[in-house]
């Protein structure tokens, strides 16, 4: 697991509060029942006393059979259950109602992380990304190949066939992700699904327990400018871009390109390459056009250190709109 400290602390606090609330609610129900049915309070006190006697007997060297232990409390439990039922309460009304019965809202079972804790980590980590709303509806199963043409082009394959290969590649990348996975350059015209599949990768990688930072190139540059020019930014906010397990930079080339913005892009790419941390960059610009806007050092890293994943076809957003109008 590679969740950041803030996520781990937030989830730990969620479980502390969850368990405390469950115990507090049990206490409130107990006070309610004790007030209405005083005999149950007496039974609970007698049950505790009987347990202490049993423990004292065991450690005092007395031999107690299983039948003796069972008979010492069975009558009290039966009377307690009958009183609850007679007064309209479920027989488990005074039990603690933990959300997870497996770990009792502690998050761990015999030293191993419970599935409920893993789900909460993924949920919180996802909510902390800038695509949390985007990822609610974007998953690999919702990626529609029908929007791509099935007419074969010059290489003997249709855009639909090629994008089916891209989809499968992205699925495998997310499924097999490690903090030392390959970096990817998602390249293709506007509206071909680069942002959609990037968010699908982010979602699954987060669910596997890794930290992901997803942001547009424009927002990243702006964040660095805020710190550089003392406009309310904090350096700690910038560290996430270098230290996360996976950085996804969306829409490279749409930002206002300056010497400073290029220095930020180069620094991020180079630092993550040296640290062997994967980065996914998406752009509408192909290699030749990139050379017109960015320095050779940036282009060489994208072409030499990143695996290019080409997106092909026509703008699927236009086809989506056409289908909605016809329906």
DSSP-assigned letters across all residues of 223-285? HHHHHHTTSS--HHHHHHHHHSSEEEEEEETSS---HHHHHHHHHHHHHHHHTT--EEEEES-
Q: How far apart are CA 3 and CA 40, in angstroms?
A: 46
> How confident is the model over 277-313, as pLDDT tens digits?
999 999 988 777 888 888 899 999 998 999 999 998 8
Q: Are strands 112-113 and 108-109 parallel, antiparallel or unpaired?
A: antiparallel
Helix, strand, coil percentages (3-state) for the chain, rounded to 5, are: 60, 10, 30
Q: What angle do CA 303, 308, 310 make, to 5 degrees?
A: 135
Q: Which residues pair with 306 in a beta bridge?
A: 183
Tokens 């509060």 correspond to 17
Q: Which residues of 47-59 are buried (b: 16+ CB within 10 A; e: fewer)?
A: eeeeeeebeeeee
Nearest alpha carbon to residue 30 among 18, 42, 17, 41: 41
Q: How far apart are CA 113 and CA 103, in angstroms?
A: 9
Question: What is the mean pLDDT of each successive set of 10 residues along the chain, which is 327 residues long?
Answer: 75 95 96 95 86 62 54 82 95 94 93 86 74 67 88 85 94 94 93 91 86 88 81 64 89 85 92 94 85 88 92 74 45
Task: Find out whether 194 and 188 touch, Cβ atoms under 8 Å.
Answer: yes
| pLDDT score, position 325 | 43
| pLDDT score, position 123 | 78
Alpha helices in 37-65 (DSSP H): 38-59
Tokens 């049993």 correspond to 54
| pLDDT score, position 16 | 96
Q: Count of CB atoms within 10 A of residue 243's CB?
A: 16
| pLDDT score, position 326 | 38
> How confident is the model over 46-95, as pLDDT tens digits?
888 777 766 665 545 555 555 565 666 788 889 999 999 999 999 999 99
Q: How far apart are CA 211 and CA 2, in angstroms?
A: 6
Q: What angle do CA 169, 174, 179 make, to 5 degrees?
A: 120
Domains in the chain, CATH or no CATH each: 5-109 (no CATH), 129-326 (3.40.50.300)
């Amino acid at each position: 697991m590679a969740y950041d400290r803030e996520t781990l602390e937030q989830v730990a606090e969620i479980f502390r509060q969850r368990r405390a609330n469950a115990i507090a609610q049990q206490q409130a129900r107990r006070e309610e029942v004790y007030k209405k049915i005083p005999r149950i309070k007496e039974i609970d006190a007698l049950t505790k006393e009987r347990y202490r006697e049993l423990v004292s007997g065991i450690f005092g060297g007395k031999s107690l059979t299983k039948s003796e232990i069972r008979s010492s409390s069975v009558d009290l439990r039966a009377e307690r259950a009958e009183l609850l039922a007679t007064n309209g309460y479920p027989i488990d009304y005074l039990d603690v109602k933990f959300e997870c019965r497996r770990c009792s809202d502690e998050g761990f079972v015999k030293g191993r992380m419970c599935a409920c804790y893993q789900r909460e980590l993924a949920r919180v980590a996802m909510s902390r990304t800038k695509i949390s709303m985007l990822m609610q509806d974007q998953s690999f199963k919702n990626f529609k190949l029908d929007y791509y043409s099935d007419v074969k082009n010059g290489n003997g394959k249709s855009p639909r066939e090629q994008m089916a290969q891209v989809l499968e590649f992205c699925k495998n990348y997310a499924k097999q992700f490690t903090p030392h996975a390959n970096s990817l350059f998602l390249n293709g015209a506007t509206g071909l699904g680069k942002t959609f599949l990037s968010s699908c990768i982010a979602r699954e990688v987060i669910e596997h327990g890794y930290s992901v930072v997803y942001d547009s190139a424009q927002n990243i540059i702006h964040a660095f400018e805020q710190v550089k020019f003392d406009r309310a930014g904090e350096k700690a906010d910038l560290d996430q871009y270098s230290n996360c397990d996976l950085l996804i930079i969306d829409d490279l080339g749409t930002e206002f390109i300056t010497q400073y913005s290029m220095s930020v892009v180069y620094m991020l790419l180079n630092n993550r390459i040296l640290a062997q941390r994967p980065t996914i960059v998406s752009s509408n610009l192909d290699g030749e056009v990139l050379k017109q806007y960015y320095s050779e050092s940036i282009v060489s890293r994208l072409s030499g250190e990143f695996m290019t994943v080409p997106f092909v076809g026509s703008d699927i957003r236009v086809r989506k709109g056409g289908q909605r109008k016809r329906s």
